[in-house]
């Protein structure tokens, strides 16, 4: 993949990761409230674990994209006919 494509995927992944972090925080709050009220929060806890798994996968995808981007080394500026551009 080209660096531009990788950067696009990285941006999309980072947006998804931000959204997932918000969703996980909201789910944690729901679990806390259910426990406070003495209600069964096992289903909410299972959803939370699933959401954490999705967040982990997004974090791993982000890391892989960063590693792939790190493989690209910018080429030096072209010099034409031994003259440097102004």
Q: Is residue 85 part of a domain?
A: no
pTM as predicted: 0.73
**What domain range includes position 27?**
3-70
Q: What is the mean pLDDT of residues 13-27?
A: 96
Q: Is residue 78 part of a domain?
A: no
Q: Is residue 19 part of a domain?
A: yes
Q: What is the CA radius of gyration of the chain?
A: 22
Q: Is residue 81 part of a domain?
A: no
What are the structure tokens assigned to 60, written together?
Answer: 């791993």
Q: Is residue 75 part of a domain?
A: no
- Please give the mean pLDDT across all residues of the chain: 88
**75 vs 68: which has the higher pLDDT:** 68
Give the chain's domain count. Answer: 1
Q: Is residue 84 part of a domain?
A: no
Above 70 in pLDDT, residue 83?
no
The long-range contacts involving 9-13, CB below 8 angstroms and separated by at least 24 positions, are 9/65, 10/62, 10/65, 10/66, 10/69, 13/58, 13/61, 13/62, 13/65
């Amino acid at each position: 993949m080209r660096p531009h494509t990788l950067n696009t995927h990285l941006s999309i992944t980072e947006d998804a990761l931000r959204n997932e972090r918000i969703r996980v925080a909201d789910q944690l709050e729901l679990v806390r409230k259910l426990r406070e009220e003495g209600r069964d929060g096992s289903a909410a806890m299972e959803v939370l674990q699933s959401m954490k798994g999705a967040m982990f996968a997004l974090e791993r995808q982000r890391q892989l994209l960063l590693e792939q981007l790190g493989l690209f080394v910018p080429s030096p500026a072209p010099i034409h006919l031994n003259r440097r551009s102004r």
